[in-house]
Structure 1
Amino acid sequence: MHDIRAIREHPAAFDAAMAKLGNSGASSDILAIDEARRAAIQAAETMKAAGNAAAKEIGAAKAAGDDETFNRLRAEVADTKKATAEQEQVAKDLDAQLRDALMSLPNLPYDDVPEGADENDNVELKRWGTPPTFDFKPKEHFEIKGVQGGMDFETAAKLSGSRFVLLSGAVARVHRALAQFMLDIHTDENGLTETIPPVLVRDEAMYGTNQLPKFAEESYQTREGMWLIPTSEVSLTNIVAGAVLDADYLPRRYVAHTNCFRSEAGSAGRDTSGMLRQHQFEKVEMVSITHPDTSDVEHARMTACAEGILERLGLAYRTVVLCTGDMGFGARRTHDIEVWLPGQDTYREISSVSTCGDFQARRMNARFRDEDGKPQFVHTLNGSGLAVGRCLIAVLENGQTEDGGVTLPEALSPWLGGKTRITPEGALA
């Protein structure tokens, strides 16, 4: 959420930043609501002061035996109280309207974010590794002979509908090993605190991480009103909601492996084959809560943590910085990491690492005390480290062999009991 004082004091700068996101003149509507709200507050305060003054005169009139003045002033006070209450309600309604308007606006991009319309305008930052070459036409993950028996879309559709998968046998084991591998690296080497958060959250948590109100249709809500998390960013970031932290408590670095749920509203026809885009999927998510002075350094560190997982697995990738037209609602800057998928002959996103500035902190009222003891908003960051299902896809496609088997990354062997491949018959060996 944006700071109304900053918009009020620098409307031109706010509009210039919003224009990069295709939202021109955003300050005018916001400031009109703000002006009306402030006028209502001032009017209520003026009425209240007048009523208080009249109330004092009532006592004097009664003491003097002036019944006419006493009755007139008492009626005036009653009328003023009613008018004050009405004006306070107007101010309250305008305050809610202003909050809704501020919550509906996306975060402002940092100055170093490239301007652009869509993914074609993203800027590549680096490449790592060389995509493998094959003596045969590489298949997509769901076409590999040794994988097909352990990746059942038909049974999943019978149970739950489209965009679900039932994993079993060797494929399920590799999927589990990948998640454990990621968690162990992040906790043992990258200094993140392993966390097992709830996957059902209240409205407040979804608002705090900008999933609501904008993305309600992309999430699942229970009959009781709880929400299934679209990412554990929601649970992890809200750990500090409403808190005022000591500065030396920062940074806080969390990691969690959870199921995630997305309705994929608006994605009809996209990535319908295989398990690239599912309603239910698993992610190892990283979240950092930092001092504002260190959030840029933390963004680079988190990006390197995600990249390091792919490097250990020997998977070629590229890292891009998203342009203004492709960046998410709550981000000020986002690095997308895209892994090479031979079956599609292209790089596909496997992690987004974003720094949000104080945008989420304002929504959550998450603060720390500065050197003068004054509460200031923290900065929040989040990133996949990594999407487990997409990492499984990459491992299977990059390691496929002509006979329908899969050679697995050597780094994964300790998490697979020393096994190094999936046979064409679908067994671990």
Structure 2
Amino acid sequence: MHDIKSIRDNPQAFDAALVRRGLQPLSASLLAIDEKRRAAILASEQAQARRNAASKEIGDAKKAKDEARAAKLMAEVAELKTSMPELEAAAKAADEELAKELSAIPNLPLAEVPDGRDEHGNVQRHVFGNRRNYAFTPRPHDDLGGALGYMDFEAAAKLSGARFVVLKKGLARLERAIGQFMLDLHTTEHGYTEVNPPLLVRNEVMFGTGQLPKFEDDQFWALKGELLLTPDERLRTERLGLIPTAEVALTNLVRESILDEKQLPMRLTALTPCFRAEAGAAGRDTRGMIRQHQFTKVELVSIATPETSKDELERMLACAEEVLRRLGLHYRVMTLCTGDMGFSSQKTYDIEVWMPGQGEGGAFREISSCSVCGDFQARRMDARSRGPDGKPRFVHTLNGSGTAVGRALIAVMETYQQEDGSIAVPDVLQPYMGGLKAITRE
């Protein structure tokens, strides 16, 4: 959420940042609504003040036995009493109109974020490792999993439809091992606190991290009532949303609170299922496990001060990278351009892991995004800390995948595949696999 006072103070900078995002300038329309809102609030406050003053004057007039003046003042108070609800309603409506407009505007990019319209404008930051050479043509993960008999998309389709998978035996255990390894690394070496959050959350929680109102159709919802509702009614009805990422639950743990800055940075992590309707990604990555409606992910969230949030982003990126380094996976880090960043982000790094079975010659695929959001989410959640001067101020929030477990499974399968179709288990995962060194068909 944006601060209207900041827009009022520097509309040109706000519009310039929106243009970098590929949007039209909005300050003029926002300030017009703000002016209407301020005028409505002033009229309501003035009416209330005049009513209070007139009520006092009635008492004074009666003490002075000036019945004519008292009668005139009582008539004025009665008129104000009649008109005030309308004035208050106008002020509330204008306030809600401004809030609605502001809530649909994405965060503004930091100055160092490269300009660009889409993923083609992203800038490579660095690369780790090298592509492996194979004496055979590497196969995609779904071919490997199907040949092993441990990855079943047809069975999942019977249960739930497209974009679901059933993992069995060695692959089910390997996915569990990868998640446990990531969680152990972040909690024992990286200083994150493990949390097991709810998977179903309220509307205001989805709003706090930016899923609502713009991305409502990308979420799965559990409605507690009539299904045939208008969009506005759906936003108000009693329902719970399945989390698209643990970021939603973890970040909102500090909503509507004032933290002691001695608690910051607060670093949280969770290993959870995630659910995405993927309405905005229809037709993309339909093969295999690349883009699923349900997947497992280890999430990293930091609550930081404004002075430390940029450094915290670099630290979070390093934590996510360490996962892939220990798994021995080849990857690159990309700085996303202004046109490819997420709604709530000020700056984002994507980690893209090399998957040798993705088409001829393989391909890099995203496995983690690490973002700093500034106070954008904190304003939506009313999450603050008490600063050096003792006054409350909005915290800065960060989130990152540490990493996506399903995509890590794919990367391990394709990277560690053997010519006979078996999957070698990376050394770091073998303790989680009971010492198993390879997954083979039984």
Match of 1:415 in 2: 432
State the shift of 1:147 in Å: 5.3
What is the rounded CA distance, in whole Å, between the counterparts of 1:117 and 1:378 in structure 2? 29
What is the rounded CA distance, in whole Å, between the counterparts of 2:144 and 2:388 in structure 1? 59
Match of 2:340 in 1: 326
Structure 2 SS opposite 1:226: strand
Structure 1 SS opposite 2:421: coil
| Residue 64 of structure 2 corresponds to residue 47 of structure 1 | no
Match of 1:169 in 2: 169
What is the rounded CA distance, in whole Å, between the counterparts of 2:420 and 2:52 in structure 1? 89
Match of 1:88 in 2: 88
State the shift of 1:358 in Å: 0.6
State the shift of 1:66 in Å: 4.3
What is the rounded CA distance, in whole Å, between the counterparts of 1:182 and 1:218 in structure 2? 27
What is the rounded CA distance, in whole Å, between the counterparts of 2:49 and 2:194 in structure 1? 55
Match of 2:37 in 1: 37
| Residue 402 of structure 2 corresponds to residue 402 of structure 1 | no
Moved more, 127-136 or 41-50: 41-50
Match of 1:361 in 2: 378
Matches within 5 A, 1:310-321: 310-321=324-335
Match of 1:277 in 2: 291
- The TM-score with structure 2 as length reference comes to 0.94
Match of 1:217 in 2: 217
- The answer as to whether partners of 1:146 and 1:406 remain within 8 angstroms in 2 is no
What is the rounded CA distance, in whole Å, between the counterparts of 1:153 and 1:23 in structure 2? 40
State the shift of 1:406 in Å: 1.3
Q: Which amino acid aligns with 1:412?
A: L
Matches within 5 A, 1:1-400: 1-144=1-144, 148-224=148-224, 225-344=239-358, 345-400=362-417
- The answer as to whether partners of 1:367 and 1:378 remain within 8 angstroms in 2 is yes
What is the rounded CA distance, in whole Å, between the counterparts of 1:238 and 1:308 in structure 2? 26
What is the rounded CA distance, in whole Å, between the counterparts of 1:327 and 1:181 in structure 2? 29
- The answer as to whether partners of 2:145 and 2:151 remain within 8 angstroms in 1 is no
- The answer as to whether partners of 2:298 and 2:405 remain within 8 angstroms in 1 is yes
State the shift of 1:47 in Å: 2.0
**CA-to-partner distance for each residue in 1:114-145, whole Å, 9 max, x for gaps?**
00000011000000011111122111101116
- The answer as to whether partners of 2:320 and 2:403 remain within 8 angstroms in 1 is yes
- Structure 1: tracts of 5 or more residues without a match: none
- The answer as to whether partners of 1:186 and 1:305 remain within 8 angstroms in 2 is yes
Distance 1:99 1:413, change over 3 A: same
Q: Which amino acid aligns with 2:314?
A: A
What is the rounded CA distance, in whole Å, between the counterparts of 2:94 and 2:180 in structure 1? 49
Moved over 6 A (4+): none
- The answer as to whether partners of 2:148 and 2:421 remain within 8 angstroms in 1 is no
State the shift of 1:151 in Å: 0.6
- The answer as to whether partners of 1:138 and 1:343 remain within 8 angstroms in 2 is yes
Distance 1:188 1:60, change over 3 A: closer
State the shift of 1:217 in Å: 0.5
State the shift of 1:86 in Å: 1.3
What is the rounded CA distance, in whole Å, between the counterparts of 1:78 and 1:356 in structure 2? 50
State the shift of 1:148 in Å: 4.2
User: Percent identity among equivalent residues?
Assistant: 56
State the shift of 1:102 in Å: 1.1
Moved more, 133-142 or 143-152: 143-152
Structure 1 SS opposite 2:177: helix
Structure 2 SS opposite 1:266: helix
Computed over aligned residues only, the root mean square deviation of the Cα atoms, in angstroms, reads: 1.3
Q: Which amino acid aligns with 1:341?
A: M
- Structure 2: tracts of 5 or more residues without a match: 225-238
State the shift of 1:75 in Å: 1.6
Q: How many residues align?
A: 425
What is the rounded CA distance, in whole Å, between the counterparts of 1:357 and 1:173 in structure 2? 38
